[in-house]
A and B are shown apart, each in its own frame.
Chain A
Amino acid sequence: MDTSITLTVDGSEHTLDVDTRTTLLDALRERIGATAPKKGCDHGQCGSCTVLLEGRRHLTCLALAVAHDGDEIVTAAGLTGSAADPASRGEDALHPVQQAFLDHDGYQCGYCTPGQICSAVGVLDEAKQGHPSHVTDDLEVGGDVELTDEEIRERMSGNLCRCGAYVGILDAVRQAAGQTPGRGVDPARHTHDHETEGAR
């Protein structure tokens, strides 16, 4: 059974007839051709299909397209060009989170990457809004959350990476959160004895 819906994807409006069974992920990938969100498990168990839906990070595999008629979606592809400097819009304007993933090699095969990046954008926003996490010590402290390494790891845990790029992902989110400088500031970071802090 088909139903007509409208989705705004990466700034473009799409009106399409979808089978009521079509997931949001399949509508994006198979119908609209927006293939940045990936199908890794199709059951909400990996995070590869993460997008920003109405501004919040959201899985698209466990959502029916028809239930999201009228919604606005930003995929990793749509983050490009939204960099802070309006003059740099266009081909070269990576989102700071995308740039941070490049700088810190926060990926290998790239398949989970668009989902990781959308998730990281969501994490930064949730922290600004003061959302606590499983590892937040004191629930009663409101306001900005300090994104410690432990907080980043927990908050990014809904995105599995089988290549095991978590060290780079952590460094990337740290950089995007403004807690460490980007590449170029510390040229030694890519030498063979790159240090990663021992965690507790």
Chain B
Amino acid sequence: MKELTYVRADDAASAVATVSADPHARFLGGGTNLVDHLKLGVATPSTLVDVSRLPLDTVEVLEGDRGGLRIGANVRNSDLAAHPVVRSTFPALSRSLLAGASGQIRNQATTGGNLLQRTRCVYFQDVTTPCNKREPGSGCSALEGYGRYNAILGTSADCVATHPSDMAVGLAALDADVVVLGPDGERRVPLADLHRLPGHHPEDDTTLAHGELITAVELRGSELTRHSTYYKARDRASYAFALVSVAGALELDGDVVRDVRIAWGGVAHKPWRATVAEQALRGEVYSEDAVRAAAAEELRAAETGDDNAFKVAMVRNATALVMHQLASKQQHPQQGGTR
């Protein structure tokens, strides 16, 4: 770990100014990923600007028919998951948060930091092996190496890493917006546009510029978001990254799909909004077969190797499972919660 200058930020604007002006400066939030990377030598900043004590730690309920939320970037994962409006109006968010990491880490990790966590690809985390994401141009060790957690959609010849966040997948299905403060002021980024595919620049996880700070996440509630949930398939029953995960929202009108959202985790460099599948389902009669067919349509572009070929069937089936749970609840509302 290189020697560090530590600065506790007084306010968001000065934090942004400091980091923007110094290519070797980084924001420090909950620390659960950055401190990890400092020790591994994956991150070697010279200055840390601690934004974790900025007053961005509240969940505001926004005005409107269905309710909306403005979630401060410093709201801890555990607090967000337990928030009554999140639980009632955005269950996919609560579920995705609770599926991630551990109780301790959720007490520590922030909303902004969770979105910006970096891949858990074993080669990215091992500075003795080539990795284009960590060291552009050095090569991708995962392409021909250990591939159980590799992406199957949107990969490039330079990178097959997956994004590790569960929460981001939940937010992707809920059409969240990310509020970003930069040197020139605030802007809003749809969550689907926050993360990027690797292409030739896997070193860039997101579309944020250096020095831009996530200050909040905004959600708009609807009948659709109320009928949302999250399923995470993993080897270990807890405290494990996803093999695949599915965030889904479904609103039925009788047997017809009035609206639907599907986002996948563990399959791509970003939370994958399955827009092809959504399009195929919208306005159609709901059935398990229709969901499977829609998911299969989305997965036509999948590229797999021996280690991760199973993800195609797994994410298709998990999507069918999630939609089945959501549909059952609407068709038989007396039955309990969704999980």
Contact = CB atoms under 8 A, between A and B. Distances in A.
Interface of A: 1, 3, 19-21, 23, 42-44, 47, 50, 56-59, 61-64, 66-67, 69, 119, 122-123, 126, 129-140, 142, 153-155, 157-160
Chain A at the B interface: SS class: loop
A3 B31 CA distance: 18
B104 A50 contact: yes
Interface in B255-312: none
Q: How large is the interface on B (under 10, 10 to 19, 20 to 34, 35 or more residues)?
A: 35 or more
A62 B339 contact: no
Contact of A158 (B28, B48, B104, B336): B104
A42 B31 CA distance: 13
B34 to A, nearest CB: 9
B66 to A, nearest CB: 16
A62 B82 contact: no
B92 to A, nearest CB: 10
* Residue picked from B35, B39, B336, most chain A C-beta under 10 Å: B35
Contacts of B238: 134, 153-154, 157-158
B107 A56 contact: yes
Contacts of A44: 32, 36, 101, 105
Given A64-B6, A67-B50, A122-B104, A158 B239 contact: yes
A59 B6 contact: no
A179 B232 CA distance: 30
A64 to B, nearest CB: 6
A34 B14 CA distance: 36
B101 A158 contact: yes
Contacts of A64: 6, 28, 31, 35, 48
Nearest to B52: A67
Nearest to A45: B239
A155 B102 CA distance: 8
Nearest to B53: A67
A137 B88 CA distance: 13
Contacts, number: 120
B337 A138 contact: yes
A140 B105 contact: no
B98 A133 contact: yes
Interface of B: 1, 3-6, 8, 28, 31-32, 35-36, 38-40, 48, 50, 52, 78, 81-82, 84, 87-88, 91, 94-95, 98-99, 101-105, 107-108, 237-239, 336-337, 339
Contact of B102 (A56, A66, A158): A158
A169 to B, nearest CB: 14
A129 B82 contact: yes
A12 to B, nearest CB: 23
A6 to B, nearest CB: 14
A59 B105 contact: yes
A135 B339 CA distance: 8
Contacts of B107: 56-58, 122
Contacts of B108: 58-59, 62-63
B6 A158 contact: no
B104 A157 contact: no
Nearest to A18: B6
B102 A47 contact: yes
Contacts of A50: 104
The 10 A-B pairs of least Cβ separation, nearest first, read A158-B102, A157-B238, A138-B337, A139-B87, A20-B6, A134-B98, A131-B82, A20-B4, A62-B35, A21-B1
Nearest to B34: A62
